[in-house]
Amino acid sequence: MPAFEMSDANFPVDSEGRTYHVECRRGDIANRVVTVGDPQRARLLAKKFDQIVFERQSHRGFLIITGIYKQTPITIVSIGMGLSMMDFFVRETRAVVDGPMCIIRFGSCGSICDAKPGNIIVATSSYGIMRNYDHFTNPFKKSEPPYLITDRVQADPVLTSTLSQKLKDSMGKSEIFEGSNGCADSFYGSQGRLSANFNDENESLIPILKKKYSDAVSLEMEAHMLYHLASVSTNPTNGQQNIRAACALIVFADRTGNEFITPEASQMAVEHCTEAIFNTLVEERFSNNDLHPLEGSV
Ligand code: R1P
Ligand code: URA
């Protein structure tokens, strides 16, 4: 439990102004944010900061590291895994940052295209894949499909094209792939991994995804929530979208060739991508006549 009493059941904040799960308050988080799943990846990224100005580990497993890179504040937040963690992170950081935000997710994924372990996939859009629970347990709903697949939500086009170009400049064009990402509610059943222990009815899931979306390239577990929340984010004063988002995903699993990345290759990919991601954020400016450039709040 947090050390301080919470007030406001609608959006709990402690007596120091910190949010309930991420434990961030005004001044902790920059407008430019990189989010990762794994705290070790967060620490590896933070090595490229010129200076670290704030660090906090929350009781729910979020790690915040804010630092200065090329005189610009950037925050790295490690969130763990899954849709709810992305939801906590986006909503709670948004609540304590003034002005527009740019968020880049730097995650890992499974490849369902030609990308191999260690290659990078830039998710130009993401859709949700959810287990249709009733199909499995309600005999009257057996005719419904076992997995529900949403429409695609687009990444921010400007942020994505800068990110993709910088990654190509850093790693070589042949290492970078682009396309739509399937964001699943499990690493297993809803990513088409087969199991003898559960009746998942997912043997044809990956072909179904590829048929529905001809640009389907990857599977992971957070990007759709990030893109969805960015698309519905609203500046309360002018009604404009207030979060722009993009994703770069390191291929950990090749789902076609059945290969998995080595720890060394994963570390190398992080090292090769970090400056491209930071530089993308540093260079970003709002193009919609919003007069604030993305000033850091820290
Ligand atoms: C599963 O192993 C985790 O890895 C991927 C998935 O989205 C999921 O969170 O991303 P991260 O490496 O960012 O955690
Ligand atoms: N993360 C996922 O969610 N799936 C993979 O296959 C690899 C990483």
CA of 143 to the centre of ligand 2 (A): 29
Does ipTM come in above 0.95?
yes
- Could you identify the atom of ligand 1 that is nearest to the CA of residue 222? 7
- The confidence score (pLDDT) of residue 73 equals 97
Residue 130 belongs to a domain:
yes
pLDDT of 107 above 70: yes
Give the domain CATH number at 215: 3.40.50.1580
Ligand 1 atom 2 nearest Cα: 187
**What is the C-alpha separation between 43 and 64, in angstroms, rounded?**
10
**What is the C-alpha separation between 179 and 206, in angstroms, rounded?**
15
Strand duo 101-111 + 63-69: pairing? unpaired
**261, amino acid identity:** I
CA of 201 to the centre of ligand 1 (A): 23
Structural domain span for residue 135: 17-283
Half-sphere exposure of 278 (CA within 13 A, CB side): 25
Q: Is 108 in the pocket of ligand 2 (CB under 6 A)?
A: yes
**Residue entry with tokens 């969805």:** 228
pLDDT digits (tens, 9 = 90+) for 214-242: 999 999 999 999 999 999 999 999 999 99
pLDDT classification of 289: cutoffs 50, 70, 90: very low
The mean per-residue pLDDT over the stretch 114-124 comes to 98
Q: Is 252 in the pocket of ligand 2 (CB under 6 A)?
A: yes
Number of structural domains in the chain: 1
**What is the C-alpha separation between 247 and 62, in angstroms, rounded?**
19
- The confidence score (pLDDT) of residue 293 equals 44
Residue 296 belongs to a domain:
no
Instruction: Provide the 10 A C-beta neighbour count for residue 114.
Output: 11
Using CB distances shorter than 6 Å, the residues near ligand 1 are 36-38, 81, 107-108, 187, 220-222
Instruction: Provide the 10 A C-beta neighbour count for residue 176.
Output: 23
Residue 292 belongs to a domain:
no
- Would you give the distance in Å from CA 40 to the centre of its chain? 16
Residue 98 belongs to a domain:
yes
- Could you identify the atom of ligand 1 that is nearest to the CA of residue 80? 14
Q: Is 253 in the pocket of ligand 2 (CB under 6 A)?
A: yes
The sign of the CA dihedral 253, 258, 259, 260 is: positive
pLDDT digits (tens, 9 = 90+) for 67-88: 999 999 999 999 999 999 999 9
CA of 221 to the centre of ligand 1 (A): 6
Residue 4 belongs to a domain:
no
Residue 179 belongs to a domain:
yes
Residue 11 belongs to a domain:
no
CA of 183 to the centre of ligand 1 (A): 10
Residue 97 belongs to a domain:
yes
**Residue entry with tokens 């993305």:** 294
